[in-house]
Amino acid sequence: MNGNQFDNPYGNFPHDSDSGSVPGDNMNSQGNGSFDMGNDRQPLYYYVNSESTSRKHRRGARGLRKVFALLIVAAILVGTVGTLSLFYQIVPGNGDVVFTLERIDRRNDQNTIQLPAAGNEEKQNGATVREVNPNGPVMEINEPPVPKTTPVARETGGALTIPEIVEKVMPSVVGVVSSVRSLYGTSNYSGTGIIMSSDGYIITNNHVIDNAENISITLMDGTTYDAKLIGRDKRSDLAVIKIDAKNLIPAEFGDSDALKVGDLAVAIGNPLGLDLMGTVTDGIISAINRDVVVEERTMTLIQTNAAINSGNSGGPLINKYGQVIGINTLKMQDYYNNIEGLGFAIPTNTAKPIIDELIQYGYVRGRPSIGINVKTISESQARYFNVPQGVAVYYVHPDSDAYKQGLQVNDIIVEAQGKEVKTASDINKIKEEYVAGDLFTVKVYRNGKYLEITFKLMDEAEIDMNRSSFIVP
């Protein structure tokens, strides 16, 4: 069997009310061994399977009873296509709330532009890539200030008022507009960015600039610049862009590990586009280390009730000292839009090593990749087709060692490194315990038999896989 060919015997599933699957569901994860969702050969709807029935019954009283939708909150489409929505479904976790998400993309697949792999191309996402800078700036994490000895300082602990926070951080917040070309013309998406250095390095979300032909930056004083893409990382949803400017005011980044639930949280961004640029909202840190499964990959995020709306993605979440401690990225709401105060941000301590790698190399080095695209087979689907529950392989990259060692399309992976695999998230978690170059063994089901295949994990940057994107309003 040719490892590149897709012959899906598991593609038409019966309706499963327990798991939420529907006929023809394709819960898949693809791209660079990252198991990222989306493929131009796949439907635009991707459904998640809930956890096992026994677990749901055991934890149901403490779990979430209601199905929610989670929106990536970055770019609002203001061009010719119309407003889009990107939803995620959430199901109960097992004590700690671990969200599993569903993406519903209302954009036609013709609007999706296939991307080159991140790395050394002259162009990336269509936007010209500036040469990486091994000696470029690094993201500095600052400790909270030491309280002064005056009575007022002792009382406040060095904390600023919200107006003082805004005065300090607002000049470091920018508007980001990405022009995306499709068969229907060019559309503009807007988001937010954070100035990292005085010479023009800016942090934003990957999904804000994904597929961009051109990227422009607007400062708070109205000055606009063309931006160049330095590097992006879909897995963490982070990107670095640069403008040719001097004497910018960089944000001060704080230690996200020092956060406590109940701390003040302030968000600054550009909801619904640049007409509302510089909107300030406030709240508290609602939770820390909140695990959210996005496209079969777990992100550990800060949860806040500060209002985060479409257009805020890539903007700062700020602590009481005026330090950026998170990059806003996700918002949760139900289908009736009556859920508020559930926003999520990438912690700065998580972002720092990724941002530093993007500036120095244009991508994140050493990430392990199997080089496959997979889709989860639910328990009910396994019963229907009389196959084991696991992840079905529907693409094997011909340059991967997994392909050379005999992993095939339609193999069902049931174990990895001796650990049970039932979902793409399972194999991701196992794989990420290793590095590129390590040997990795999977147990697969093929034509009624089980066999083990051992191969070397590849460097994700070396695998030229199709990359799906966060396509968002």
Residues annotated as catalytic are: 207, 237, 313
98-129 CB burial, b ≥16 within 10 A, e <16? bbbbbbebebeeebbbebbbbbeeeebbbbbb
- 369 in Cβ contact with 459 (< 8 Å): yes
Q: How many CB atoms lie within 10 A of CB 433?
A: 12
- 439 in Cβ contact with 458 (< 8 Å): no
466, with CB counted inside 10 A (0-12, 13-18, 19+), is buried
Task: Identify the H or E element spanning 114.
Answer: none
- 390 in Cβ contact with 413 (< 8 Å): yes
Give the alpha-carbon dihedral of 52, 58, 64, 70, to 10 degrees: -20
- 132 in Cβ contact with 362 (< 8 Å): yes
User: In this structure, which amino acid lies at residue 452?
Assistant: E
What lies within 8 Å, CB to CB, of 421 at 6+ separation is: 390, 391, 413, 414, 415, 427, 430, 442
The whole-angstrom separation of Cα 156 and Cα 327 is 25
The whole-angstrom separation of Cα 56 and Cα 21 is 16
200 pairs with which residues across the strands?
A: none
**Residue of 99, 413, 91, 364 lying closest to 237 (CA atoms):** 364
- 350 in Cβ contact with 344 (< 8 Å): no
Task: Identify the H or E element spanning 135.
Answer: none
